[in-house]
Amino acid sequence: MNPEPTRGLIASPTPAAQEAAAQLREMYHWVEPERADMIVVLGGDGFMLQTLHAMLERRRIVPVFGMNLGTVGFLMNEWRPDLLEDRISRTRAFAVTPLRMDAETIDGERFSLPAINEVSLLRETRQTAKIEVMVNKHVVLPELVCDGVLVATPAGSTAYNFSAQGPILPLGSAMVALTPISPFRPRRWRGAILPEKSRFTLKVLDPAKRPVSAVADQREVRDVARVEIGIDPSCTLTMMFDPDHALDDRIAMEQFVI
């Protein structure tokens, strides 16, 4: 017989999440997260992203089941403490493959960071950014004049990408979104949907005069000169959802939210 899976519990430091964690610890058996086969996460979307990034940094990735005790909770399930073991046994699992951002600053420093939602380049001053956009080593936009530009995964397509008028991508579509942020030239360009295997190179033109920062989810690198972005298949994450609250359905339904 296969041994019963072991579960770990991680909670946001907010009072609501800590109170919920205390309740669950009295109801179920838990092990230290470092020894667990799967993790229950209590908090909001931001805390879920923080937890997933911590897994990527440690290179110890296990399935996660989140329950919302935050604000939006798009990446979370409903908070319900009862019948948790049965509930987890009926979940649907979804693979989420993050992006990898390799950034070089104007001083020559290099940073390599994962992004579960998106990588965004943003102007640092009142002057617009000027960015050369390359896809698979081909220059597709010699000069994009804008507030910024981002590359989003399907899981992140309903977040900053959607607020920037980018498309919602179905989970499992194997596509990524390339979306401008307040484009000035070319004014009519609204972005592109490209295969997830695409590699993007974003070169900042005149980076000293028009400085640009690069952000991988919540981690920022300032004064970048060049950023390369692509899917990192070596770091696939697994997120678990209730059958009636599955991530693919939620992403698809966002297209009809007014």
For residues 41 and 14, the answer to whether their CB atoms sit within 8 Å is no
Residues recognised as catalytic: 45
73 Rama class: left (phi>0) / alpha (psi -120 to 50) / beta = left
- 118-145: average pLDDT: 97
- Is position 118 annotated in a ligand binding site? yes
Where do the structural domains in the chain lie, given as residue ranges?
Answer: 7-96+236-256, 99-233
Look up tokens 């086969």; give the residue: 37
Q: Distance between CA 206 and CA 250 in Å, rounded?
A: 41
Collapsing DSSP to helix, strand or coil, 214 comes out as: strand
- 16-30: average pLDDT: 96
Residue among 66, 103, 110, 63 at smallest CA distance from 84: 66
- Is position 45 annotated in a ligand binding site? yes
- Is position 147 annotated in a ligand binding site? yes
- Is position 161 annotated in a ligand binding site? yes
38-57: pLDDT as tens digits:
999 999 999 999 999 999 98
Neighbours of 238 (CB within 10 A): 14
- Give the rounded distance of the alpha carbon of 217 from its chain centre: 6
Look up tokens 């007014």; give the residue: 258
Given this model, what pLDDT does residue 1 score?
44
Range of lowest pLDDT (181-185, 191-195, 235-239, 243-247): 243-247
- Is position 117 annotated in a ligand binding site? yes
- Is position 256 annotated in a ligand binding site? no
HSE toward the beta carbon, residue 115, CA cutoff 13 A: 34
54-78: pLDDT as tens digits:
999 888 889 999 999 988 888 899 9
26-36: pLDDT as tens digits:
999 999 999 99
Q: Which two tokens stand for residue 16?
A: 């609501």
* CB-based contacts of 109-115 (< 8 A; 24+ apart in sequence): 111/221, 113/216, 113/219, 113/221, 114/53, 114/56, 114/216, 114/217, 114/232, 114/235, 115/153, 115/156, 115/216, 115/217
Q: Confidence band (pLDDT; 50, 70, 90) for 3?
A: low
For residues 67 and 28, the answer to whether their CB atoms sit within 8 Å is no
- Is position 162 annotated in a ligand binding site? yes
Please state which of the four CATH numbers 2.70.210.12, 3.40.605.10, 2.60.200.30, 3.30.1240.10 is assigned to the domain occupying 99-233: 2.60.200.30
Q: Domain 7-96+236-256: state its class.
A: alpha beta
Q: Which two tokens stand for residue 239?
A: 């997120």
Neighbours of 221 (CB within 10 A): 20
- Is position 46 annotated in a ligand binding site? yes
- Is position 158 annotated in a ligand binding site? yes
